[in-house]
Amino acid sequence: MIGIDLIKTSRMEHLIERFGEKGLLKFLSTDELLLIKSYKTAAGFWAIKEAFSKALGTGIGKDCSFHDMRIYKTDKGAPKLSLSKKIINEFKIVDVSVSITHDGEYAVGVVAIEVLTSSNKVKQF
């Protein structure tokens, strides 16, 4: 399953100006907050979390909250996603791949989810 999200980075800049760290904690954990270098980084993290929820087919809500996933970085700085036990078990997730890119005033997040079984198999004819 694949999800994608696009955000104008100025939206995140305004959120930070208005609410500061408290605004970021609405969708980030304290560990993730330590990885934020600028509003553009925060926008990329938002895009990844939105893209993940779209790949699940739920969106952000009662089935999947922003705090059911956490972004961390590899030793080389690549973003990775860890998931709550609830999400892994409920959706039978085996693996997740993420990518974040920025271009000008936009950040894009793409997520691919591999599940153990899927009802979204290609239909035969």
What is the b/e burial string over 38-68, where b = at least 16 CB atoms within 10 angstroms of the residue's CB?
ebbbbbbbbbbbbbbbbbbebebeeebbbeb
Per-residue pLDDT tens over the stretch 62-76: 999 999 999 999 999
User: Dihedral of CA 16/44/4/85: which sign?
Assistant: negative
- Residue 121 binned pLDDT confidence (cut-offs 50, 70, 90): low
At 57, which amino acid appears? G
How many C-alpha atoms does 62 have within 13 Å on its Cβ side?
0
Q: What is the pLDDT, as a whole number, of residue 41?
A: 97
Known catalytic residues are 54, 102
Task: Report, as an integer, the average pLDDT of 111-125.
Answer: 75
**Residues 12-16: what's their mean pLDDT?**
97
Dihedral angle over CA of 50, 73, 90, 54, nearest 10:
20
Q: pLDDT digit string (tens) for 26-58? A: 999 999 999 999 999 999 999 999 999 999 999
